[in-house]
Structure 1
Amino acid sequence: MKPARLYRNQPLVVSLLMLLILATIVIGIGIGSSPVSYGRLIPTILGHGSFEDNFVLFSIRLPRILITLLAGMALALSGAILQGITRNELADPGIIGINAGAGVGVTVFFIFASIDAGSFIYMIPLAAFAGALVTAVLIYAFSYTRTDGVQPIRLVITGVGFSMALSGVMIVLISSVDRTKVDFISKWLAGNVWGTDWPFVLALLPWLIILVPYVLYKSRTLNLLALNEPTAIGAGVAVSRDRVLLMLAAVALAASAVSMTGGIAFVGLMAPHIARALVGARHQQFVPVSILIGGWLLLLADTIGRNLTQPDGIAAGIMVAFIGAPYFLYLLLKKEG
């Protein structure tokens, strides 16, 4: 009876999460170095605000809010896919090195393309995807054995090793470039949200518009892959093909997100776990909830981080890590136990 009750609770959970996201957005708009008064918020949205209020709301606050919200959703969905296809509760695009691979792609593109950070915005997610894809293929290859398939703990350990190695590669790459580029890449590594204008929103949004419906369509396949390969094959799933396609979707989602927000880990780990606890383990039920939780987590982390210290605040990636690192250790100890 308990699973049935969880499934029936999904509409309520989704509604509460949407209200929570809306409340966080309103709070985020009303605080900061250039806040918009709550009393002037509605008139400004309706086009009756002052020039200053319009500029702060539509040119500064809303683009950043939408970027963090969409990026958090992408990371959460990526984590849910990875946990399903690897049957590994510890899988997360940041922890297993995919984010680091995307970072190398962005770093190489940024250094050798000789462009300003705000130029060629729509190419940056593609550069991140290329780096993340190569990394994912290597991690998967090193974690796979012909007899046992993908080994969960081995995948995490391999991913952590790749993440550390790629961080070293990025340090080597930036050691010979000018200070401006070093500062940008350093902030990117810390998970500092740097894409804060409308073109960045438009660069990220298509990836979600395409991939979210695809993953929801593949929810039944993910349910079967999360059990075991013989069950999936017996149910008529083309295991190898669907696993590759879903892996590509997870890599694309993570790469598009971190190309705008920097190296942020743990969102893809925490959001699916919390969603499963709220509505159950069927992907049809918990994936939409996971998407909303991921968006809210990153939005909340960025809202708190940018207002803790002035003028630059604390990077959202650092704020998420304060919560995510202990949570990861808890899950690791629980799994080992």
Structure 2
Amino acid sequence: MSHNSYLTASQQKTRKKNLFILSILTILIIVTFIISMNTGVIKLTPMEVLSTLFGQGDAQQQLILFEFRLPRIIVAVLVGMGLAISGAILQGISRNALADPGILGINAGAGLMVMLFISFFPATAAAPVFLLPVLAFIGSGMTAILIYALSYKRHEGITPMRLLLTGIAVAAGISSAMIVLTLRLSPENYQFVATWLAGSIWGSNWKFVLALLPWLIVLLPFVYSKSRVLNVLNLGELTAVGLGASIEKERRWLLAASVGLAGASVSVSGGIGFVGLIAPHLARQLVGAKHQILLPASALVGGLLVLMADTIGRSLLEPSEIPAGIVVAVLGAPYFLYLLARLKQ
């Protein structure tokens, strides 16, 4: 067998394996989706869910499924996908295994803008729903620019460790500002902000699905079209320049996409951290480092992770809820420490 034919056979084997993994992840999301539809204070059997989906359920079953559970489940999946792709982009452009929109402070920047808005407008107002992702994008974008400017040095560019430390410092400062802001909130808004900061999927109706969906429809294909650029950036700046990549221009476009995905996701889900860290790492373990397959795998792992966290949070202490952000943090914090220890070796 010639080298070329062996390479082709090897590539075909890898492609089949990756497609199998993507199929398994999709099936797991569908299974978790079905379990989540059956989970809640008011129980619906699988047959009741199925009949309601086909228009055969009674008024109460239709209200529970279509107005409460389905929008929340879809938002959880979309948020997981958005945060996971945002984290994959940040890890790619910074070559930092610990890069994540939560750890770097981008989520905190989005949260600060959302909190400022809520401080002056009712959290339940209908009109701001579509405005929240825009405000979150502005807040996360300003934070990203600040972190980028503080991390950049003329002769060295951006080093992974300096980016991480700068992001952590900026996130701490923003978190302090948010704590001060909570002092002027009314009791109702304070309760909302406390829930939001814990990472609860609070955007649980169809308006929030429609507010989030356009951001993902536009940004996910754009990021995927930049897969080859991310592969080149992973090789290092000197190699990327040698291959003809315009590093700073591409970084800015990709950073803007990452900020948009994180900001829009955080605006409807609250401060869910670690998804952008865990999902790309797990996906990389499953399908490798090529972004053409890594990005779809990260999106599926992220969607599955947030959906599972929200389902567990809703069912563990019924009728009370544990915010999805806390469930993710229980898994994410030890994983972060594990990665940190491994990188020091």
Shared fold per TM-score greater than 0.5? yes
Other-structure match for 1:148: 156
Matches within 5 A, 1:27-42: 27-42=35-50
Matches within 5 A, 1:167-206: 167-206=175-214
Other-structure match for 1:215: 223
Is 2:39–2:314's contact at 8 Å kept on the other side of the alignment?
Answer: no
Other-structure match for 1:224: 232
The 1:227–1:32 alpha-carbon spacing in structure 2 relative to 1, beyond 3 Å, is same
Give the deviation of 1:230 after TM superposition: 2.0
Q: Is 306-315 or 239-248 further displaced after alignment?
A: 306-315
Corresponding position: 1:120 with 2:128: yes
Give the deviation of 1:114 after TM superposition: 5.2
Among 281, 284, 288, which residue is 2:292 paired with?
A: 284
Corresponding position: 1:243 with 2:218: no
Give the deviation of 1:115 after TM superposition: 5.9
Corresponding position: 1:71 with 2:79: yes
Is 1:101–1:132's contact at 8 Å kept on the other side of the alignment?
Answer: yes
Give the deviation of 1:236 after TM superposition: 2.1
Gaps of 5+ in 1: none
Residue deviations 1:267-306 (CA, integer Å, cap 9, x gap): 1001111111111110001110110000000000000011
Is 2:40–2:318's contact at 8 Å kept on the other side of the alignment?
Answer: no
Q: Name the TM-score, length of structure 2 as normaliser.
A: 0.94
Aligned residue-pair number? 337
Gaps of 5+ in 2: 1-6
Look up the equivalent residue of 1:293 and give its one-letter code: V
Matches within 5 A, 1:253-332: 253-332=261-340
Other-structure match for 2:68: 60
Structure-2 separation of matches of 1:332 and 1:135: 24
Structure-2 separation of matches of 1:121 and 1:312: 25
Corresponding position: 1:133 with 2:141: yes
Look up the equivalent residue of 1:326 and give its one-letter code: P
Corresponding position: 1:252 with 2:263: no
Structure-2 separation of matches of 1:48 and 1:25: 20
Residue deviations 1:220-272 (CA, integer Å, cap 9, x gap): 00101111122222222221111101000000000000100000111100111
Runs of 4+ in 1 over 6 A off after TM superposition: none
Give the deviation of 1:113 after TM superposition: 3.8
Is 1:266–1:321's contact at 8 Å kept on the other side of the alignment?
Answer: yes
Other-structure match for 2:94: 86
Aligned sequence identity (%): 48
Is 1:36–1:56's contact at 8 Å kept on the other side of the alignment?
Answer: no
Residue deviations 1:164-204 (CA, integer Å, cap 9, x gap): 11111011112012111111111111101110000000000
Structure-2 separation of matches of 1:271 and 1:113: 34
What SS is found at the alignment partner of 1:150?
A: coil
Structure-1 separation of matches of 2:34 and 2:343: 39
Residue deviations 1:138-174 (CA, integer Å, cap 9, x gap): 1111122222211111211111111111111011112
Look up the equivalent residue of 1:269 and give its one-letter code: L
Look up the equivalent residue of 1:50 and give its one-letter code: D
Q: Is 232-241 or 169-178 further displaced after alignment?
A: 232-241
Q: Name the TM-score, length of structure 1 as normaliser.
A: 0.97
Other-structure match for 1:95: 103
